[in-house]
Amino acid sequence: MRRLADFLCLGLVACLAACGAPPIPFDRGATPTVNTIGVLTPGWPQGPTVHTAAVPMGGFLPVALAAAAAEAARESRFTKVLEAERFDAAGEFRTRLVAAVRARGYQVVEVPATADRGKYLETYPTLPNPPDAWLDCVVPLWGYVAANALDDTPYRPIVGMVCRLVRAGSGTVLMRDTVVYNPLRTQPASGGAVVIAPDPAFAFKTSDILMADPKKAVAGLLAGFDSSAEALGGLLK
Amino acid sequence: MKPWAGLALVAALAGCRTPGPPPLTMLPARACPEAPVLAGTRQLAEARPEQVDIAADAPCIATRAGPALYAAFQLPPRRPAMVEIAGVPQGETLFAPRAMLLDASGRVTREIGPDAFMFRPLGLSALVRLRPEDATLVVTSDPAAAGKRMSRIRTQVQTMVLSAPPMIYYAQDTGSDTRQELMLAHNGRVSVTFRLLAENP
């Protein structure tokens, strides 16, 4: 089931980029009244993915079920590895997101929101001093993926993120885009997501090697968070 | 066509790579005007990508960083709208893009620098929201970037479907992890797409 969920998540990133939510570029020069951005707690999945995309004969149900069980075990083990490292993935990502927005000269107000959501907020908080705009981001998945189950395609970090900038009050969408670090699935050619190639320094031939080097595994994830947040900042210039 | 034949065709196509022109990293000496010549500007249509292959004999313009090749596009007047500007890889060659927007009098109103371009599926791409005064888009090569190499890891999964209705349906994913070597150049393929935006998406 988890394998199915991961597949759907991987598909979700592509889908959010492709269906119904084409990117909208931000024109900062034409929007001088946006100076303060309320960065909402990003939507965040329950745990990391450790996904193997292509399993030989994976189209047959018994093979798919066995692969799903193996994947669930890998993810449970990786979650424990990260817990032992006291790795707060959501916190690390949020810190980088805020820093990337601040680096573009905006004032930032961090505003709590539920992280347990797979979509944008439908309504935004009411504050005594509201920001000029809300930055609403959802991370459908993060973790590691290998393109196939053979040893020739290593596990590399993956991060998928959808974000929109919404003017406070009017609700006008000023910017909307998708950023995928290490996109595994082919994205639509036109109007597709920002795609970031993974850092070659973080490649693990097998999941056992990944689990055995937690410090490097965390560093790989942080590289993905850094690049994704930086790309988002670039979209707000 | 038999399903196996289809499968073989898909595999063959996946294995083919289109060779591109050799990357042009230095422009031969020639006189380039300081402003683009807008005669022969291509007209953009809504949601239809306009692709131009810029070669050594394309018109050139003198920029602060040196001579650059360019292509010019006439923007439809409807707003709100955006354009996607992309340098599209052709083999190893990737057009190093910059852009500028001109008003109806030909005055440059905005420059889109290289830091606005990020990789998207189409290539090295920038999305730009258009303003009412934007009349012409000029996409130029970036002399400061031409000659730079880029190496990118590409992980990909493709699904091949084998079907012989109504009984047989089988989908198999295949994954690959490869390195893509690119060189930014004055020449190469440029794609520009004009798209309308919803008033309040």
| DSSP code per residue over A109-161 | EEE---S--SS--SS----SS--SEEEEEEEEEEEEEEEESSTTS-BEEEEEE
pLDDT at A9: 47
pLDDT at B12: 43
Nearest-CA distance A224 → chain B (Å): 14
Chain centre to alpha carbon of residue B55: 14
pTM: 0.89
Rounded Cα–Cα distance for residues A124 and A120 (Å):
10
Percent of chain B topping pLDDT 90 = 70
Chain centre to alpha carbon of residue B56: 17
* pLDDT tens per residue, range B180-201: 999 999 999 999 999 999 866 5
Res B10 pLDDT > 80: no
pLDDT at A71: 86
Q: How confident is the model at residue B1 (pLDDT cuts 50, 70, 90)?
A: very low
pLDDT at A59: 75
Rounded Cα–Cα distance for residues B9 and A231 (Å):
37
Task: Name every chain A residue with its beta carbon within 8 A of the beta carbon of B120.
Answer: 187, 192-195
pLDDT at B199: 65
* Of A59, A94, A82, A80, residue with least CA distance to A232: A94
Residues B104-117 have a mean pLDDT of: 95
pLDDT at A197: 95
A197 touches chain B (CB under 8 A): yes
Residues A160-173 have a mean pLDDT of: 94
- Comparing CB atoms, the residue among A24, A54, A193 nearest residue B157 is A54
pLDDT at B11: 42
Chain centre to alpha carbon of residue A227: 11
pLDDT at B57: 93
Res A115 pLDDT > 70: yes
Residues A18-37 have a mean pLDDT of: 85
Residues B167-175 have a mean pLDDT of: 79
B178 touches chain A (CB under 8 A): no
Nearest-CA distance B192 → chain A (Å): 10
Res A18 pLDDT > 50: no
Phi-psi region of A86 (alpha: psi -120 to 50; beta: other; left: phi over 0): left
> Higher model confidence: residue B29 or residue B110?
B110
Least confident segment among A25-39, A53-67, B22-36, B70-84 = A53-67
Q: 116-145 in A: which are within 8 Å (CB) of B?
A: 145
CB A197 to CB B131 under 8 A? Answer: no
Task: Name every chain B residue with its beta carbon within 8 A of the beta carbon of A187.
Answer: 120-121
CB A30 to CB B115 under 8 A? Answer: no
* pLDDT tens per residue, range B30-88: 899 999 999 889 999 999 999 999 999 999 999 988 999 999 999 999 999 999 999 99
Res A23 pLDDT > 70: yes
Res B6 pLDDT > 80: no
Res A4 pLDDT > 70: no
pLDDT at B163: 79
- Comparing CB atoms, the residue among A25, A54, A184 nearest residue B129 is A25
Percent of chain A topping pLDDT 70 = 89
Cα B198 to Cα A12, A47, A133: the distances in Å are 23, 35, 19
pLDDT at A26: 96
